[in-house]
Amino acid sequence: MIRIGIDLGGTKTEIIALDEAGSELLRHRVASPRHDYQATLSMIVRLVEETEGQLGRRAAVGIGTPGAISPGTGLLRNSNSTWLNGRPLLHDLIECLQRDVRIENDANCFTLSEAVDGAGAGHRVVFGVILGTGVGGGIVVDGRVISGPNRIAGEWGHNPLPWADDSERPGPACYCGKSGCIETFLSGPGFTRDHAAATGTMLEGAEIIDAARQGELCSAASVERYEQRLARALAHVINVLDPDAIVLGGGMSNVPRWYETVPHLWQEWIFSDRVDTLLLHNRHGDSSGVRGAAWLGSGPRP
Ligand SMILES: [Zn+2]
């Protein structure tokens, strides 16, 4: 079976076709129509038809996009492509494409991609984390996304930072309406804000990490605060889910030292004398979203 995955973003949309073994048959990227729901639908249909024309075969279709289909209404919600919110995207795509279509959010697609044939391959329970502009999570068990009755499984970025000390309470205000969410500490902008609060200097995450590597003490302290918070946030997940592997993605995942320091640090908060959970860097990088969307399509996986 050929699988088509579409990563529907606010500014660009990517399509990929995978064969049975997960090899890439083709990949194509276009600009997303903005503020136009009908044009978005037409673009997806055109991309699928063109791809199937080139392959000469009908394919299973999966879509990855920010947001989720509300289980109550069947309408998309929580997408930062706001013109898709409140629209019956899944229903309309099933009508237009005349087949079953699966939709999951970008963190779930990332986790599925890494669990099927990425860094988490061969592990039964995989927790995927995106540490980017926001912080998202996804759970895959035996190669299947666990989404849950509320479609929020894995969304731990808006839980409070666990074992917070007085300097971390109440914590920064979050767009969700609460304060001190994990996302406000572990997102790229959260890291920048934390460093600026300590030093008065606004730097991008990569700049802080570079400075720390060169021995600049304030930057090194910011990096140590970050990895300590990441360890606490992941210890919380391990105490609930006890995954075999945790795979990190997003811009803040590209720091080799996290994979040594964090599993050492998290032992203090995990309710077990021994911790075998692996902390892994993603294998597919920016391609994980679109590859995971393709794996949503039904049928056997490698
Ligand atoms: Zn929040």
The string of DSSP codes covering 161-205 is PTT--GGGSS--B-TTS-BSBHHHHHSHHHHHHHHHHHHS----H
| Cα dist from 289 to 28, 66, 86, 111, whole Å | 14, 10, 23, 8
Q: Are strands 76-77 and 135-141 parallel, antiparallel or unpaired?
A: unpaired
Residue 300 confidence (pLDDT) above 70? no
Give me ligand 1 centre to Cα 183, in Å.
Answer: 6
Cα four-point dihedral sign 252, 62, 245, 153: positive
Give me ligand 1 centre to Cα 207, in Å.
Answer: 25
Residue 43 confidence (pLDDT) above 80? yes
Give me ligand 1 centre to Cα 176, in Å.
Answer: 4
Kindly report the number of other CB atoms within 10 A of residue 262's CB atom.
Answer: 23
* pLDDT score, position 298: 67
Tell me the percentage of the chain whose pLDDT exceeds 70.
Answer: 98
Residues with CB in 5 Å of ion ligand 1: 158, 174, 176, 178, 181
Per the CB < 8 A criterion, the answer to whether 202 and 192 are in contact is yes
Give me ligand 1 centre to Cα 172, in Å.
Answer: 9
**Global pTM value:** 0.94
pLDDT digits (tens, 9 = 90+) for 51-83: 999 999 999 999 999 888 998 999 998 888 889
Give me ligand 1 centre to Cα 245, in Å.
Answer: 25
Q: CA-to-CA distance for 84 and 36, rounded, in angstroms?
A: 8
* pLDDT score, position 211: 97
Encoding tokens for residue 161? 């930072």
Task: Give the pLDDT mean for 95-109.
Answer: 94
Give me ligand 1 centre to Cα 181, in Å.
Answer: 5
pLDDT digits (tens, 9 = 90+) for 208-267: 999 999 999 999 999 999 999 999 999 999 999 999 999 999 999 999 999 999 999 999
Q: How confident is the model at residue 299 (pLDDT cuts 50, 70, 90)?
A: low
Give me ligand 1 centre to Cα 132, in Å.
Answer: 14
Residue 179 confidence (pLDDT) above 90? yes
Give me ligand 1 centre to Cα 174, in Å.
Answer: 5
Q: What does pLDDT average to over the chain? A: 94
Nearest to 64 by CA among 295, 298, 300, 299: 295
Task: Give the pLDDT mean for 260-284.
Answer: 97
Nearest to 153 by CA among 162, 163, 140: 140
Relative orientation angle of helices 288-296 and 106-117, to the nearest 10 degrees? 80
CA atoms within 13 A on the CB side of 215: 0
Give me ligand 1 centre to Cα 209, in Å.
Answer: 25
The string of DSSP codes covering 29-72 is EEEPPPS-HHHHHHHHHHHHHHHHHHHTS--EEEEE-SSEE-TT
Angle ∠(189,193,198) on CA atoms, nearest 5: 150
Give me ligand 1 centre to Cα 179, in Å.
Answer: 7
Cα four-point dihedral sign 161, 188, 260, 241: positive
Give me ligand 1 centre to Cα 80, in Å.
Answer: 15
